[in-house]
Amino acid sequence: MTFLTLSKIQKSFGAVQVVRDFDMTIEKGEFVSFLGPSGCGKTTVLRMIAGFESPSGGEISIDGRSQANLKPNQRNIGMVFQAYALFPNMNVAENVAFGLKVAGKPKAEIDARVNEMLGLIKLDHLADRYPYQMSGGQQQRVALARALAPKPQVLLLDEPLSALDAKIRVSLREEIRMIQQQLGITTVFVTHDQEEALSISDRIVVMNGGRADQIGSPFEIYNRPATRFVASFVGTLNLIEAKVIDPAANRIAIGDQAITLREPLGAVKAGDTVSLALRPEAGSIAEGAKGDTALTGKVVSSNFLGSVIRTRMKVGDAVISFDMFNAPGLSPPAVGETVTLRFTASDLLIIRE
């Protein structure tokens, strides 16, 4: 069931168009992440949903109702900001109660709801604390409770984790996801951190230059990037330039090693260059492997990263990284050594712009 619809959204600040033709529908209870580098327009889209900015074109509707003429305080949306934005003059309980209070709810109802919310974020014991007395992680949990207290129809999260320490970032994102699933609230999460987006979303929108480059599940986004941008932004990826030998036979060459691709090459001619993508974790060393799923090259570097060893090898002009899981007794390839990398045919993707 479609709950939040964004159709043909445009936004310009003066002559600069920051969002163009943004189209998507979000299901009730879905957790959607807007992922992209800063300046890609993701926050602007979020702020348009909240009503802080109005679209230059297109329409936003929630639960079938157009939001065009509604001010932010009429939309019944919850929002968590990057910089906590707790009201410094109120303690935790007062902060959480704020939305209910301005809505004129009776005191007993407010108290009950505040308790419920504090229980949800497991901060019952800090109800009397002021924001300055709490850590960033605690403040952000209170901000989440405050946003959820008035039972909003949509929850917006504007990079809520980016000001926090790495460890808290991971635990809080899991907590956010758990609470979201528990309440079944439709949620839009803005982030520039691909790991964050991959780990907690139902669907991800990868944004670039004000457009949605790809919309899909984390699995699709990671394994089947639709554009070069998505491929390079999400995860680590080898982008390999290859020369077309025979378009009809899907035959290309990397350096002097010819390979037949499983995917059709499409409208290219012999001598053209195509971009191929290969995840570092997709390959493994297999001495003696040959054929369309192997490449041989010279090791240029080998870095021990803890759980994995990342090795870079040169094939023709292309440098290809690949990861091996660490294991006792494993001897990492030495620089200068010649190794053969084997991968699955379906892992080598053709990237079209």
Partner 1 sequence: MNTANLIDRRKIVDWLGIAPFMIFAFMFLILPTLYLVTGAFFNPAGEFTFKNIADLAHPTILSAYWISIKVSVASSLGGAVIGFMLAWAVVLGGLPSWIRSGLLTFSGVASNFAGVPLAFAFIATLGRTGLVTLLLREWFGFNLYGTGFNLLSFLGLTITYMFFQIPLMVLILTPALDGLKKEWREASEILGASTWQYWRMIGLPILWPSLMGTTLLLFANAFGAIATAYALTGSSLNIVPILLYAQIRGDVLHNPNLGYALALGMIVITGLSNVLYIWLRSRAERWQK
Among the listed residues 71, 125, 167, 269, the single contact to partner 1 using CB under 8 A: 71
Q: Does 164 bind partner 1 (CB under 8 A)?
A: no
Q: What CA–CA distance (Å, rounded) separates 203 from 197?
A: 9
Q: Does 13 bind partner 1 (CB under 8 A)?
A: no
CA 67 to chain centroid, in Å, comes to 26
Sheet holding 308-315, edge to edge: 283-285, 338-343, 294-304, 308-315, 318-325
Among the listed residues 87, 219, 304, 325, the single contact to partner 1 using CB under 8 A: 87
Q: Which helix (H) or strand (E) holds 171?
A: helix 166-183
Among the listed residues 19, 35, 48, 77, the single contact to partner 1 using CB under 8 A: 77
Assigned token pair, 56 = 């230059």
Residue 83 or residue 300: which is nearer to partner 1 going by CB?
83
Which 3 state secondary structure label does DSSP give 82?
A: coil
Q: Does 285 bind partner 1 (CB under 8 A)?
A: no
Assigned token pair, 112 = 């009950």
Shortest Å, Cβ 143 to partner 1: 8
Chain position carrying tokens 């919309």: 215
Q: Does 3 bind partner 1 (CB under 8 A)?
A: no
Residue 128 or residue 165: which is nearer to partner 1 going by CB?
128
Pick out residues in 202-261 that bind partner 1 (CB under 8 A). Answer: none
Shortest Å, Cβ 79 to partner 1: 5
Q: What CA–CA distance (Å, rounded) separates 232 from 35?
A: 13
Give 253's strand partners: 243, 258
Residue 153 or residue 275: which is nearer to partner 1 going by CB?
153
> Are 236 and 321 spatial neighbours (Cβ–Cβ below 8 Å)?
yes
Among the listed residues 2, 8, 66, 103, the single contact to partner 1 using CB under 8 A: 103
Q: What CA–CA distance (Å, rounded) separates 155 from 119?
A: 19
Residue 129 or residue 177: which is nearer to partner 1 going by CB?
129
Shortest Å, Cβ 3 to partner 1: 18
Shortest Å, Cβ 133 to partner 1: 9
Instruction: Write the interaction track for partner 1 spanning residues 112-151; mark x where CB under 8 A is met and - where it is not.
Output: ------------------xxx----------x--xx--x-
CA dihedral 59, 64, 66, 71 (to 10 degrees): -120
Q: What are phi and psi of 282, to 5 degrees?
A: -80, -15
Q: Does 46 bind partner 1 (CB under 8 A)?
A: no
CB-based burial of residue 101 (10 Å sphere; 0-12 exposed, 13-18 middle, 19+ buried)?
A: middle
Shortest Å, Cβ 81 to partner 1: 5
DSSP state of 345: G
Among the listed residues 91, 186, 191, 214, the single contact to partner 1 using CB under 8 A: 91
Q: Does 178 bind partner 1 (CB under 8 A)?
A: no
- Which residues would be at the binding site for partner 1 (CB under 8 A)? 50-52, 71-79, 81, 83-91, 98-99, 101-103, 130-132, 143, 146-147, 150
